[in-house]
Amino acid sequence: MRFQNVIGSAILFAAFGFGQSWGQSPDVEVGEISTPTLRWGRQSAVFDLTNKTENLKFITVETRMKFEGTYLNASRTARTHYILEPMNTINVKATVDIPGNFGRATMTVALYDVVDTLDPLMAQQKIYEQPFTLMFHIPDPLMPYLQSKVTMPPMVGRNPDFDNEFSRVLLELLAERKTPSEIAAMALADSAFVAEAIANLKVKTYLTDDSGTLRLNVPVIRAAEADEALALAKQGAADLAAQIKKNMPAFLRVRDSLAVIGKIPKDTNAFMSGGVILYKLYPAVGALLLWHDYGQGFIAGRTPLDIFAGTDPCNAFMPSYMYAVEGGEVVNGTQYYNMTIARNRLVLTWGDRVPDVDCPEKLNFTQPLAERTEWNYVRGDIPDVYMFDTSLTYPSMRILAGGANDRLQKLYDDYKKISEKYRPGQFTMGCRYWFWNLVATHALRQLLIENVVHRGPINGQFRLELIP
């Protein structure tokens, strides 16, 4: 089924071409653009293109889809290349990639007169641009599923697998054992589009097909479970924060004694020293204690908590730690943790919020382990770097961690009961990862309120490198 019944006024917007064109080039004439069929997936914008000169031209057509969605603003860019012979007209079918989102969308068709189609596009090469406005309304059967946000693990929701609203509703529907045909009917979507989305989940191992029976491997935490677990997380966080506060005086005494005997420097800004992190209570508690110690055991046990193993924050392919939770920000922790091995050195990247990163335009999502991509933190989120030496930090951190084992075990057991009540047999590292982020977030907040730790004028992002 197509989207004509869903989009409503979008057809009028597209037909009348709301928005003015960027301008026609005297060398290349662009005919009237026939907008794509109004449905999700790869479509075509069709128009004639005429070369009015005696010169061979290379034309790149770039189409951009940008949503102002119900709660996600998915975007896609596609490029199609053409050779335009002198004094010749061709019929162009430019690719338009429409993500599965709802809400208002702007489709922009831009043409570039380039020297080499492999070169980056430059503003001075643009010869034409035309925007179109589309509106994708929510079908009635999906309305209940769009009443609250469905969120994913940190970084996961930014890649094309889950950056659109249908991809997240799809997880809910699959968790309810809806069939592909039922899903297509509910979404008023082409069955081919739904089939492709399901096939992608299978490739990523998020979904298993057992002789035609689809089994979702991603725990979908619905609102009732999320609310009950949130209450438990807050209580557990309060207990842990109280224990850390109780341990803090002894921790400070041991730390200061290490400084007196020269084991760690008295200069609190000697970031290359392996023990100076003990002066930086905010990342010491947040990264070393709450995640590298407590979180490691709670989420993964003896398995290293290498959440982004074999991937990166842009691709964010981490099936062992996947989850989807209904309810928005209130039922999610804010912290970011990424343990990696760089140049044979353990590196802990931790933030009290998820940092912004710059991702390359083209990512290899179909085979996420086959290719490394270059990415960087945006300037405002570049982490502060500190070295740490466990032979220097261990004595103090052990004192700070003291007395928490029984509390952590009880918290683990209590959360397992909640998980099993709502999702029997799905007490995974993914749902424990979600729950622990709640605990860590609220515990650190409580320590800030009680002035046990201080955030200071920082961006909240840290990189701790272990000295071998």
Over residues 178-199, the pLDDT tens digits come to: 999 999 999 999 999 999 999 9
Q: Using 50 as the pLDDT threshold, list the residues of the chain that sit under it.
A: 1-21, 363-372
Give pLDDT, residue 361.
Answer: 63
**DSSP sequence for 391-455:** HHHHHHHHHHHTT-HHHHHHHHHHHHHHHHHHSTT---HHHHHHHHHHHHHHHHHHHHHTTSS--
88 Cβ neighbours under 8 A, 6+ residues apart: 50, 51
Q: Judge whether 396 and 256 are in contact, CB under 8 Å.
A: no
Closest residue by Cα to residue 85 from 124, 112, 121, 49: 49
**DSSP sequence for 247-311:** HHHHHHHHHHHHHHTTSS-S-TT-TTSTTGGGG-HHHIIIIIIIIIIIIIIIIITTS---TTTTS
Structure tokens at 28: 């290349």
Q: Judge whether 65 and 97 are in contact, CB under 8 Å.
A: yes
Cα 41 from Cα 268, distance rounded (Å) = 55
Cα 307 from Cα 437, distance rounded (Å) = 13
Q: Judge whether 403 and 246 are in contact, CB under 8 Å.
A: yes
Give pLDDT, residue 23.
Answer: 64
Give pLDDT, residue 364.
Answer: 43
Structure tokens at 132: 């179109």
Q: Judge whether 460 and 353 are in contact, CB under 8 Å.
A: yes
pTM of the model: 0.89
* Helix 180-187 and helix 191-203, axial crossing angle in degrees, nearest 10: 130
Strand partners, 377: 357
Counting residues of the chain whose pLDDT is more than 90, the rounded percentage is 79
CA angle 195, 198, 202 (to 5 degrees): 130
What residue type is 91 in one-letter code?
N
Cα 350 from Cα 296, distance rounded (Å) = 13
Give pLDDT, residue 75.
Answer: 94
Strand partners, 393: none
Q: Judge whether 157 and 329 are in contact, CB under 8 Å.
A: no
